[in-house]
Amino acid sequence: MERVVDPSADSKRQHEELLKTSREAMAQDRKRRDAFEGLLKHPGWKEFQELLNLMIGERSAELLSPAGSVDKMIALEFVKGTMNGLILARDLPKIIIDNVPAATVEDE
Q: Quick check: 96 and 29 in contact, CB under 8 A?
A: yes
Range of the domain at 85: 12-101
- Note the pTM of the prediction, 2 decimals: 0.69
Looking at the structure of the chain, the number of domains it has is 1
Show Cβ contacts of residue 101 under 8 Å, excluding neighbours closer than 6 positions: 30
Give the side-chain half-sphere CA count within 13 A for 42.
Answer: 12
In a domain, 32, yes or no: yes
In a domain, 106, yes or no: no
In a domain, 4, yes or no: no
CA distances from 39 to 32, 85, 101 (A): 10, 19, 17
Bin 33: left if φ > 0, else alpha if -120 < ψ < 50, else beta. alpha
In a domain, 3, yes or no: no
In a domain, 65, yes or no: yes
Q: Quick check: 45 and 39 in contact, CB under 8 A?
A: yes
In a domain, 6, yes or no: no
Q: What is the pLDDT of residues 76-99, one digit of tens each?
A: 899 999 999 999 999 999 999 999
Burial annotation 13-30 (CB, 10 A radius, 16+ → b, else e): eeeeeeeeeeeeeeeeeb
Cβ count near 62 (within 10 Å):
15
In a domain, 5, yes or no: no
- Where does the pLDDT of residue 61 fall: very low under 50, low under 70, confident under 90, or very high at 90 and above? confident
In a domain, 7, yes or no: no
pLDDT, position 35: 93
